[in-house]
Structures are given as C-alpha cells and as structure tokens.
Amino acid sequence: MLKQRGVVLFFALIALVAMSLAAVALIRSVDTSTLIAGNLAFKQATKNSAEAGVEAAIAWLDNANAQNGALNVYMNPDHPFNRTGGFVTAFGSFQNNGYYSYADPNLSLTDSSAASHLNWDDNDSTLVGTDGSGNTTRYVIQRMCRDANVEIANNNCLFSDIPTNNNNMVIQLPQNYCTGPGCPTAAQPPQIRITARSEGPKNTVSYVQAFVF
C-alpha cells in the first residue's frame, strides 16, 4: 500500500497563497486608482475656484475704475490704481488689502519658506469666499510697476515706446487711448497681474494667474 505524502495539499496551499497575494495587489491597485482620481478631482475643483477668484479681482478693477472715472489714473494720486490698498477719498472707499500699486520682485506668492512671502490672509490678500466644495479662495492684484503709490505718469511701469505687432496683435500707442496733460509720452497701459489662490480639502492648493490691462 502506497503512503500518502500530501503533495497535492502542498501545491494547493502555494496556489492559495499566490491567489491571495494577487487579490491583495488588485485591491491596493483599485484603492490607489480611486485615491488618485479623488485627488485629481479635488485639484480641479480648487483650480475652478481660483479661476473664479480671478474673475472677482477683475470685477473689483472694473468697479473701482468705473466709479472713479473722473480721476485721471495717469496723474491723480487719489485714483485707486495709484495706491496700494486701493483706498480713495474723492468718490468713497475702495479699500482692498489685496491690491498693490507695484510688483515687488522679491516677494514670493507661493513659497511660504521664502524670506519675503505673502501670507494669504486678511492683511495682504482679498477673501472671495468659500464655495460649496469647501474651497476657500483669495486673490491679490499687482500693478506691474517698480515704484509704489505713484501716478502712472511718474512711474516706472511696463511701458512700450514703439508700436509692435505680435501675431497680428498690435500694441496701441498712447495717443490711441489717452489725451491731455498727464498722459505718458510713449507707453501702453500698465500691465496688471492677478494671482488667485484656492485651498480645499486634503490640503489641496491651486494658483491661477492672469494678466490684464
């Protein structure tokens, strides 16, 4: 009579262990894919909220300029675009802690470990709000000039002294949009940079920048 040595059981146990490992790997793969998809969704949501922050900043610029149209932005120091903080007295208060009349090249908008950085709080940015997805959005507006609190006519801004044509987009000369005293002798409107930051669930953060003029 032959002795039974349990060889079949041995191989069955090996196969069972292999199948168990495969099942665990499959579960981890599915969990990882779900996690990645969720993180991408959170990232996209914060990006959409940041884009809404850019629109809110443009709305403030439009409103401040429309309400102060009687002030010559090129030479009147009371125009909100010529003052960091945007505060004016001639036509009311347009205070905005997120508005800067100059762009500090040493100020980091994204690196909190930098020697000079933006804190993204009520003291240095503007709160747009928190949306239904839990994303809190803020923005800052920077006039791309080297000097703060100076009228554009006396400022060192991003100007162009000759007309240029880039892909059929012509940069206007000053006489095309500004007449009278106080106008720059040769310039385009100063560039304004808007940076919006949105922070959402799981420490998700997105930044969106736009240039307007």
Write out pLDDT tens, residues 75-85: 788 889 989 99
For residue range 2-18, list pLDDT tens digits in order.
Answer: 555 666 666 777 888 88
Residue 75 and residue 187: Cα distance in Å, rounded?
A: 14
Q: What is the pTM of this model?
A: 0.71
User: Does 45 score more than 70 pLDDT?
Assistant: yes
Residue 88 and residue 68: Cα distance in Å, rounded?
A: 9
Longest dimension (CA), the chain: 118
CB 79 within 8 Å of CB 68:
yes
